[in-house]
Every structure is written in structure tokens, then in C-alpha cells.
Amino acid sequence: MKRRKGYYSISVVAKMFDVHQQTIRLYEKEGLITPQRTEGGTRLFTEEDVDKLEEIIHLTHKMGVNIAGVEMILRLQRKIKKMQDDMNKVFEQAQHQLGEETNTLKQEATKSAEKLLTLKKPRVPVALPKPRSAKEEAPLPSNEVVEEWKIEYDE
């Protein structure tokens, strides 16, 4: 059923859910719902009250749960919601911490890379003749001239 925002009287809420007003008063007496009251004592039900009442009526009329069971279910739902909220806060804090640590590590890595680049000298290749062994001291045939070069880098 589509509802408008605002406050509802007990008679309107009773018609919404096809229950007797006395049933709603009983749920209030048992502490399952706490509607606001005017100075004259008239009950005013908010959207949240109506949603909660809808759940209570579903549990009692459709599921066959007694009032004590409904009270226990509602209490457990509140605890679960609080635990979920607490867990969400813990996850948000951990995510924030990980983000900060990631940024710190990135900055440190960038600084280290910059420092390494400043320490590294440019390497200039220098060509040196490759030393020959005693066997290679023999003269080469006159028609071939072969030179081998070994390249080393200055540091």
C-alpha cells in the first residue's frame, strides 16, 4: 500500500492493516511500538512506526509468532543492526588506513627512485682490444685481418 509522509491516527493505521485498534493498543502496551502523542493524548504514528507495526503484524498474524517472540526478534534485529553499523565503521577505518599507507609507500618509492637516479652516473662505453692468449699470438694468415674488441664501461 502506498503511503504519504506524515502522521497517522490509530484509526487510519488500523484500517491500513485491517486490524482492530485494540490490537495496536496492545502492541503499544507491550512496548513493541511507541507512537508519539499530542497534548490531548492522541496517538500519532510516523512512517517508522507504521513500518514497524507492519512487521509486527506480519510476524503475529502471518507467521504465528507470539508477542514475546516478536519482542525477541525485534531486540535481535536491533543488535544485528548495531553490530553491522560497528563493522561498517571498522571497515571504513581500515580502508582509510590502507589508503594512507598506500600513499605513504608510493611517496617513499618515488623518493627512493629519484635518489637512485641521482646516484647513478651515466655510463660511457669504451672500446678496448680483447687480450689474446699465447696460442693466438701466431701471425694471422695474410689474406685475413680479424680484430676482436671487448667493450667495457667506465664506472
Q: Please write the tens of the pLDDT for every residue from 26-35.
A: 999 999 999 9
**Domains, the chain, with CATH or none:** 10-65 (1.10.1660.10)
pLDDT for the residue numbered 151:
62
pLDDT number for residue 29: 96
pLDDT by residue (tens digit) across 117-152? 888 766 666 666 666 665 555 555 555 555 666 666
Q: How far apart are the first and last CA of the chain?
A: 83
Positive/negative CA dihedral, 98, 102, 103, 105:
positive
Q: What are residue 80's DSSP bridge partners?
A: none
Question: What integer pLDDT is reported at residue 131 of this predicted model?
Answer: 65
